[in-house]
Amino acid sequence: MSSTERGSLPALFLFDDSDKLSAMTRRRWIADEYEGDGAALTGQNAAHLARVLRARVGQEFDIAVGDRVRRGRITSVAEDRVDFALGEDLAIGEAQPITLCLAVFKFDRFEWAVEKCTEIGVAKIVPVIARRTEPHLAKAATKRRERWEKIAREAAQQSRRSSVPEIAEPVKLKIGIASSPGLRIVLAENERQVMLRDVVAPEPLALAVGPEGGWTPEELEEFDTQGWKRASLGETILRAETAAIAAVAVATAFGE
């Protein structure tokens, strides 16, 4: 084909060649069901693949099944179900497990934090009810969990992670403080000495970020008592969602 002919093709044509597209950017899907050498997407994921991406039998995708990612070849397509035959295992980067204890704050901003921290690579988010979490948000948090799970799932898919971060049941801060694993760091805007980048290490980490009104002095003492280290993200006061995203980004930069 001459370049003139190519130039006269409608631009959409180039993007409609889904075989080429999938080979270039082979999308990663997280299986809704799997067993042995078979896996399936169902519901919205299937509809998206079938209708929007016009999946066809024989096309290949990367399919995350449990803690593995395998090559998957489509064996059947319907609007509500796409089946795959699973083949070779693909190498997956082991994420440094980061648990984020995130104080519940305004839901639109909280959702933003869930999405972005998932993209960057958080392993688990524990929504915590802090002293300065607004009472009506604290009350509604448990019911929101399903929505946060959906946001995390979509963000994991989108960023081609091989796993979806766990969104824990919202708990009182005291429980979050006591139960978090690994090297534990509380982000505190009034910490002046210790920078987060100087305390993170390539090991399992727990990071805690406060609500819009910040931690109370009593809460910071409770963190101290339970062996958490205080750390700063710099001299400016960040909004809670910005602090969460920045903290996870700094921490993953030190992962192996």
The residue ranges that bind ligand SAH (CB under 6 A) are 187-189, 209-210, 213-215, 232-234, 236-238, 240, 243
Q: Where are the alpha helices (DSSP H) in the chain?
A: 3-8, 11-15, 18-25, 43-47, 107-120, 135-158, 173-179, 196-199, 217-225, 240-252
Task: Give the H/E segment covering residue 67.
Answer: none
Cβ closest to ligand SAH, residue 72 vs residue 176 = 176
Minimum gap (Å) between residue 154 Cβ and ligand SAH: 25
The residue sitting closest to ligand SAH, measured at its beta carbon, is: 210
Least gap, CB of 101 to ligand SAH (angstroms): 10
Question: What is the residue whose two structure tokens read 């693949």?
Answer: 49
Query: Please, are residues 245 and 155 in contact by the beta-carbon 8 Å criterion?
Result: no
Q: Select 119 or 219, whichever has its Cβ closest to ligand SAH.
A: 219
Is the Cβ of residue 27 or residue 124 nearer to ligand SAH in the bound state? 124
In terms of CB distance, is 14 or 253 closer to ligand SAH? 253
Burial 79-101 (b: 16+ CB within 10 A, else e): eebbbbebeeeeeeeebbbbbbb
53 vs 199 by CB, closer to ligand SAH: 199
Q: What's the min distance (Å) between Cβ of 211 and ligand SAH?
A: 6
- CA-CA distance, 223 to 207, in Å (whole number)? 11
What is the smallest separation between the CB atom of 209 and ligand SAH, expressed in angstroms?
A: 4
d(CA 232, CA 193): 8
CB of 45 to ligand SAH, least distance (A): 34
- Classify burial at 243, counting beta carbons within 10 Å of its beta carbon; exposed 0-12, middle 13-18, buried 19 or more: buried
Decide whether 82 or 103 has the Cβ nearer to ligand SAH: 103
Least separation in angstroms between CB 247 and ligand SAH: 7
